[in-house]
Structure 1
Amino acid sequence: MTGHRREEPYPSNGELVQRFPGEPITHDNAAHYRGRLRKQLLVNRCDDCAIWHAPPKPVCPECWSANVTATPVTGNGEIFMNVFLHQGPPAPGVDYSTPYPVVTVELEEQVGLRFTATVADADNDDIRIGQAVRLDWRERNGAPMPVFVLAGAGA
């Protein structure tokens, strides 16, 4: 051993688990949660074939390269799918007395690249498939959470 100590990224994995209680922090997605602390949405991109892929995996599903990097995305896109939850597990900031919107957004970086979150600051009647959205952030349990807000006129 040469005396070199591998520096662990800040915050440490243990601190990530504390900052995001109940979230499934793994080796494959820890960088993504570190990005959230900087209010940066990261998605894996292959350094060899340039294909984006989510959820985070250690190998590119297109070319099988292990050269994947958690890379920032704009968070702009269109609602691909939506659902309104009338009930579910208790979660801070979630009130099921009004159906809670969950959307899957196709991100502008690549056809087929999708991310699932909620829509904030919108009436449920205004949340439609094909609606343009942009990334925003809300605090939950003291940690940033990615959400989408409707984009365009009147939003």
Structure 2
Amino acid sequence: MTETATAAAGQVSDEELLARFPGQPVDHDSAAHYRGRLAHRLLINRCGDCGTWHQPPRPVCPACWSSNVVATEVAGTGTVHLAIFLHQGPPAPGVDYATPHPVVTVDLDEQPGLRFTSTVVDADRERVRVGDRVALEWIDRGGAPLPVFRVVEAAGSAGGESA
């Protein structure tokens, strides 16, 4: 994303932000994260005092109780920690429940135990496994950017080949 687009995302009013992400839990603690999504930047809170990352967004660090927390961009790479497959769910634009829809929780590389939950795109659903290496991608869902993951190396494979 260009610097201009990133700056424009930062200047979105609170009202515009709520309109772009209807039904999402946008509040004082998470607004910076949703503004980051508009610029295709995955932001996670990091303590400015002790350096601990934490997700979901909270106003204080869970490690040292400092209120010096800053929404900081992560690389978006990690390892699938948990994978489930939804066979039904509430209607969501762009989600086909005719086949199980993958939902994964990813251990992000920035810190052990730092996890983010989303979906996997462009992967054979039967092959999504715990231990897969994934990288951040972006899709449009309901008119808003959504961070998702793409498998870059299947668990148990060498050189990216499927096991």
TM range (shorter): over 0.9
Aligned residue number for residue 6 of structure 1: none
- Residue 22 of structure 1 deviates from its aligned partner by 1.1
Q: Which runs of 4+ in 1 moved over 6 A?
A: none
Aligned residue number for residue 83 of structure 1: 84
Aligned residue number for residue 149 of structure 2: 148
Which whole-Å deviations, capped at 9, do the CAs of 1:18-75 have from their partners, x for residues lacking one? 1111111110000000000000000000000000000000000000000000000001
How many pairs are equivalent?
147
* 1:116 partner letter: T
Aligned residue number for residue 132 of structure 1: 133
Give the distance between the partners of 1:141 and 1:11, measured in 2 at CA: 18
* 2:26 partner letter: I
1:114 correspondence with 2:98:
no
- Residue 140 of structure 1 deviates from its aligned partner by 1.2
SS at match of 2:104: strand
* 2:144 partner letter: A
Give the distance between the partners of 1:70 and 1:41, measured in 2 at CA: 9
Please state which structure has a larger fraction of its residues in helix: 2
Give the distance between the partners of 2:141 and 2:161, measured in 1 at CA: 26
* 2:103 partner letter: V
TM-score (normalizing by structure 1): 0.92
* 1:125 partner letter: E
TM-score (normalizing by structure 2): 0.88
- Residue 125 of structure 1 deviates from its aligned partner by 1.4
SS at match of 1:151: strand
Give the distance between the partners of 1:63 and 1:24, measured in 2 at CA: 25
RMSD after superposition: 1.1
- Residue 154 of structure 1 deviates from its aligned partner by 5.1
Aligned residue number for residue 103 of structure 1: 104
Task: Structure 2: give runs of 5+ residues left out of the alignment.
Answer: 1-9, 154-159
Give the distance between the partners of 1:77 and 1:103, measured in 2 at CA: 11
Aligned residue number for residue 66 of structure 1: 67
Give the distance between the partners of 1:117 and 1:154, measured in 2 at CA: 24
